[in-house]
C-alpha cells in the first residue's frame, strides 16, 4: 500500500488507516476477540500501518484488543488513541475531562492496555470547554518530553482551538468526520490544516456504513447500535439520502468498483495529507476498503461526482442532540 505523511510532522502512515472502534463498541455487540485480532492482523498483512482506538471505546476493551493484536508487529505500526472523557463508577462515560493531571493518568493506563512503551499519536477526543486547550497541549507536550507520546492530535476541534493548541505543541493530525455526505470541514478546517501543515484523519469515511450501499430505509440495527440515535439514520432520512448512494453506484459501475471504493478513493484525491480510517469487523470488507487505494478517479470522474453531489441535499443531522454539544466549532 502507498504511504502518506500526516502534514509536516514526519509521521508516515499507510494511505488508509483502520478505525478499530466498531470491533468493541458503537455498532452493536462486540465482535469475537480472536476473530477481531485476525482481522487486525490481516490489515497489517494488506499494508495497513495506522490503527485508531480510544480509551472510551468499550470503555477500555478496544485498546486491550488493539494492543494484543498488534503486539507481535508493534514496531511496524502506528497506534493512535484518545483521552478526554470522565467515567462513573460503573465505567460509563460521564462527561468530559481533559485536566492535565487526568490526561497523564489516562496515558499511563492506555500504555498498559496497548502493551507498548509509547503512544504514536495521542488525540484529545473532544474539546473540553472547562479546560483551556493550551493546558491540554502543555500536558501532552510533557508526555512527549517523557517519551510516552510521539505526536499530538485533536478530534472534532474548530479552527480557533486548533490554532491555540498548535502554538503550544505542534499538532500532527486532526481527526474529524469527513465524507461525501459530511463536507463541513471543507469550509474552514481543511484550509487551516493546509496552512499549518497538519494532517487530516477522516473518521466515518463511509458514512457509518451508509455509503457502502448495503443499507436502505428497511435496514434495522441492533438495540445497542448508536445509529439508532442518529437523525441521519432515521428511515425517512435513509430513503431521502439514497440519491448519494445512487451517484456512487453509477460511478462504481463505470470504474468496475464498488460504492465504498469510490467513496474512499474520492477522499484520497482531496489532499495528499488526508488519511481516512474506515473500520470493519469483516475480512472481505477490509479487503474491499484497502483495494480503494488502487482506484484512480479521473478529472472527469471527479467533475461528475462534484456536479451530481452539489444537487443532493443530505437529510438529517449527523449526531444526536447530546453528541452535537460535544463538537467544537
Nearest 5°: the CA angle 147, 153, 159 is: 145
Q: Which of 27, 57, 60, 123 is catalytic?
A: 57
What sign has the CA pseudo-torsion 31, 35, 41, 47? negative
**102-127 burial by CB neighbour count: b if 16+ within 10 A, else e?**
bbbebbeebbebbbbebbbbbbbbbb
Helix 100-113 vs helix 133-146: angle between axes, to the nearest 10 degrees? 40
Query: Residue holding cell 484529545?
Result: 124
CA distances from 234 to 128, 222, 244 (A): 29, 14, 16
Look up 57 and say whether it is catalytic. Answer: yes
Among residues 76, 149, 81, the alpha carbon closest in space to that of 114 is found at 81
Query: Residue holding cell 493548541?
Result: 165
Question: Could you give the CA distance from residue 177 to residue 183 in angstroms, rounded to a whole number?
Answer: 8
Please identify every residue annotated as catalytic.
57
Amino acid at each position: 500500500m502507498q504511504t502518506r505523511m500526516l502534514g509536516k510532522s514526519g509521521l508516515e502512515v499507510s494511505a488508509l488507516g483502520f478505525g478499530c472502534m466498531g470491533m468493541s463498541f458503537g455498532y452493536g455487540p462486540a465482535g469475537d476477540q480472536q476473530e477481531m485480532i485476525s482481522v487486525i492482523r490481516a490489515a497489517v498483512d494488506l499494508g495497513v500501518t495506522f490503527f485508531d482506538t480510544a480509551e472510551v471505546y468499550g470503555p477500555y476493551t478496544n485498546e486491550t484488543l488493539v494492543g494484543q493484536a498488534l503486539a507481535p508487529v508493534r514496531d511496524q505500526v502506528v497506534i493512535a488513541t484518545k483521552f478526554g472523557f470522565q467515567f462513573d463508577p460503573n465505567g460509563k462515560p460521564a462527561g468530559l475531562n481533559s485536566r492535565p493531571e487526568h490526561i497523564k493518568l489516562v496515558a499511563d493506563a492506555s500504555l498498559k492496555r496497548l502493551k507498548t512503551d509509547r503512544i504514536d499519536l495521542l488525540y484529545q477526543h473532544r474539546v473540553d470547554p472547562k479546560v483551556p486547550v493550551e493546558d491540554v497541549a502543555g500536558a501532552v507536550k510533557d508526555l512527549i518530553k517523557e517519551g510516552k507520546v510521539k505526536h499530538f492530535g485533536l478530534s472534532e476541534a474548530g479552527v480557533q482551538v486548533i490554532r491555540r493548541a498548535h502554538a503550544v505543541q505542534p499538532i500532527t493530525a486532526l481527526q474529524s468526520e469527513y465524507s461525501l455526505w459530511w463536507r463541513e470541514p471543507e469550509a474552514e478546517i481543511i484550509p487551516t490544516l493546509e496552512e499549518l501543515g497538519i494532517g487530516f484523519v477522516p473518521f466515518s469515511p463511509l458514512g457509518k456504513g451508509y455509503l457502502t450501499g448495503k443499507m436502505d430505509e428497511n435496514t434495522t440495527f441492533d438495540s445497542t447500535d448508536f445509529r439508532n440515535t442518529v437523525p441521519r439514520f432515521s428511515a425517512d432520512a435513509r430513503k431521502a439520502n439514497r440519491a448519494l448512494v445512487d451517484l456512487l453506484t453509477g460511478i462504481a459501475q463505470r470504474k468496475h468498483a464498488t460504492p465504498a471504493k469510490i467513496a474512499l478513493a474520492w477522499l484520497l484525491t482531496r489532499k495528499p495529507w488526508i488519511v481516512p480510517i474506515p473500520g470493519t469487523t469483516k475480512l472481505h470488507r477490509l479487503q474491499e476498503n484497502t483495494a480503494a487505494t488502487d482506484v484512480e478517479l479521473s478529472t472527469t470522474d471527479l467533475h461528475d461526482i462534484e456536479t451530481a453531489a452539489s444537487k443532493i441535499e443530505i437529510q438529517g443531522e449527523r449526531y444526536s442532540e447530546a453528541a452535537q454539544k460535544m463538537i467544537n466549532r
